[in-house]
Amino acid sequence: MSDESTRRPLKVRGSIWSKNIANYLSKKNITPNQISVLSIVFSFISAIFILLIPADHSYEIWLNSILAAFFIQMRLLCNLFDGMVALEGGKSTKSGELYNDIPDRISDSILFIAVGYTISVVSWGVELGYFAALVAMMTAYVRVLGASMDAGSCFKGPMAKQHRMAILTLSLLLTPISIIVAEQNYVLFLALLMIAIGSLVTVINRTYTIYATLEGK
């Protein structure tokens, strides 16, 4: 990340703990781009645990679900600190935007597709996973397109990245209860459906906002 104007507004950047960690990382031989790439690794690990969530009553349901949620949060921390190390730490590069955006698109796709393959309550769970990945990617595409047209970076929701990851994290923590009580993973299905529909609405919302900005409406 190399430009303050393209950053997603996050209150957590102003917290003491995040500033301290970013300051620590900035003093190490660690680049923002490396942190960005690490987010893909954490997402891949989370996806593995998602795929390992069994549909039986065992401790593995809890273990795999909690670990999947944990590594999603690790991914989000990478998304936080790559920008802070780049700008606040003075390590921004000309290629920073590539490393800032592309890993996010890969990470989202890995996670949503993995969730799709775990869904058995409907016959189209896999397709839903791919659709969620597609529309999530479109939310970013529309944002970047708007910025390239001098309409500014539109981070409007209702299903921006932080919202998608919050829903997915919460659904993973509730997944063991869903499997034990209902013997089906209804929670992950509903979460993925919500993410897919919400992301589609976000694409439409951002597109209209950019259109209105360009046309002066």
The domain spanning residue 187 has which CATH number? 1.20.120.1760
Asked whether residue 112 is domain-assigned, the answer is yes
Asked whether residue 3 is domain-assigned, the answer is no
Give residue 85's pLDDT band: very low, low, confident or very high (50, 70, 90). very high
Give residue 1's pLDDT band: very low, low, confident or very high (50, 70, 90). very low
Share of the chain above pLDDT 90, in %: 69
* pLDDT > 90? residue 96: no
Average pLDDT over residues 118-124: 93
Structural domain count of the chain: 1
> Higher pLDDT residue, 22 or 188?
188
Asked whether residue 2 is domain-assigned, the answer is no
Please provide the average confidence, as pLDDT, over all residues in the chain: 91
* pLDDT > 50? residue 57: yes
Asked whether residue 115 is domain-assigned, the answer is yes
pTM (predicted TM-score): 0.92
Rounded to an integer, what distance in angstroms lies between the CA atom of residue 34 and that of residue 25?
11
Distances from the Cα of 61 to the Cα of 66, 145, 202, angstroms? 8, 41, 32
Asked whether residue 4 is domain-assigned, the answer is no
Asked whether residue 5 is domain-assigned, the answer is no
Domain that holds residue 184: 11-215
Residue whose C-alpha is closest to residue 45's, from 73, 22, 18, 21: 73
What angle do helix axes 186-215 and 125-148 make, rounded to 10 degrees?
Answer: 20
Rounded to an integer, what distance in angstroms lies between the CA atom of residue 122 and that of residue 184?
10
pLDDT in tens, 122-159: 999 999 999 999 999 999 999 999 999 999 889 998 99
